[in-house]
Amino acid sequence: MNVYLAVILIALIGEFALRSIARYLNLKALNPKLPDEFEGVYDEDKYRQSQEYTRAGAKFAYVSSTFDLCLMLAFILMGGFNLVDGFVRGLNLSPIPTGLIFFAILYFVRDIISLPFALYSDFVIEERFGFNKMTVKTFVLDQLKSYVLTIVLGVPLIGGVLFFFEKAGSYAWIYAWGLIAFFIIIAPPLFTTLIAPMFNKFTPLAEGELKEAIQRYTAKVKFPLTEISVMDGSKRSTHSNAYLSGFGAKKRIALFDTLVEKHPVAELVAVIAHEVGHHKRKHVLKGTVLSILHVGFLLFLLSRFVDNRGLFDAFQMEGTSIYAGIIFFSILYTPIELILSVGLNYMSRKHEYEADAFAAETIASPAPLISGLKTLSVSNLGNLTPHPLTVFLNYSHPPVLQRIAALRQFSNPSPSS
């Protein structure tokens, strides 16, 4: 057997097995006894419903991941990539448009095949547990907008990478790294100003107690807040969230309308304080730098494999090409990507603890954030007892009970900025 094919099969099946074991252990870790910390917060029926939600999600993940694995293995072993390559080469275009069409076919066909799973997730599972508020019309419009964005942003990005690897020789990965780094840097302001408004309506937070409390807090910690908006998250779901965006002296806070509806002012300010903590501790900057370094590492390795004949033989390809080599390397890269994702998730969990600590210190009490975390967990039917392996592999945030335990250490914090 081709050595690259063996590595790819072991990687794909191994990751599937590992994640399946994690889901199994996660379900075994569900405890029908409500943790003492949530006594009086979760009622018996709601807590049982949260565990049913976890089970439903795990069962759905089993089915969808099994389907994905079988589809990928069949496509590889039956020479599916070569069939697509033969079609796009038959168009007799130059390498870059040929590559773009190759990527487009794989992306859109895969997305259409996965459409029933997305529909089931939103309109069956989320609907069953009272989260889904999306109409079929909104779902279809979201899909169409996503396709437009994929074309508008994907063509120059992927086209640029293909151009450099076609024309720049041994320096191609460096030029491609610069291009992708540029996209990573402009992505946040692009999302805030252009992309997010395509999907949601943002309304300035009304004058009143909440706005005044947020402004007092941000002034206290010297946070350059320029805009507070309420986003119509309830258009799609009853899940709650908030996020901070912007660079330099212009910062914007967006609150889901569902968050504003479910939390008192003190909890909302604590949530804002947590988001400000990410800014003050430079987590966004660190994450951006790590993402750029990650891409550079990936592109350097790609430059060593992109025209490897043995890799193409693993996929039963008759010819070689830069565009196909990128796809094949991304599949070969699966084990390394898994290891890196575990490391990035660990760092993210560490940052969440740091942001929680900042909120507790600057508010001079952990109580509002603890209360807010409990309310969020209940309203989102969060799993209170995830298995450590699931946390290790998948969680970008620490389990809520661990976050609360850490916050309890700040019983007598001293205010700071």
Active-site positions?
Answer: 275, 356
- Residue 14: which of 69, 62, 58 has the closest Cα? 69
Beta-bridge mates of residue 249? none
Beta-bridge mates of residue 186? none
Q: CA–CA distance from 389 to each of 25, 261, 345, 385 (Å)?
A: 8, 34, 12, 12
Tally the C-alpha atoms within 13 A of residue 75's C-alpha that lie toward its C-beta: 16
Given a contact cutoff of 8 angstroms between Cβ atoms, the answer to whether 401 and 37 are in contact is yes
- SS3 per residue for 338-368: HHHHHHHHHHHHHHHHHHHHHHHHHHCCCHH
Specify the residue for token string 């600057």: 362
Tally the C-alpha atoms within 13 A of residue 215's C-alpha that lie toward its C-beta: 12
Tokens matching residue 134: 């999306």
CA distance linking residue 237 with residue 262, whole number of Å: 14
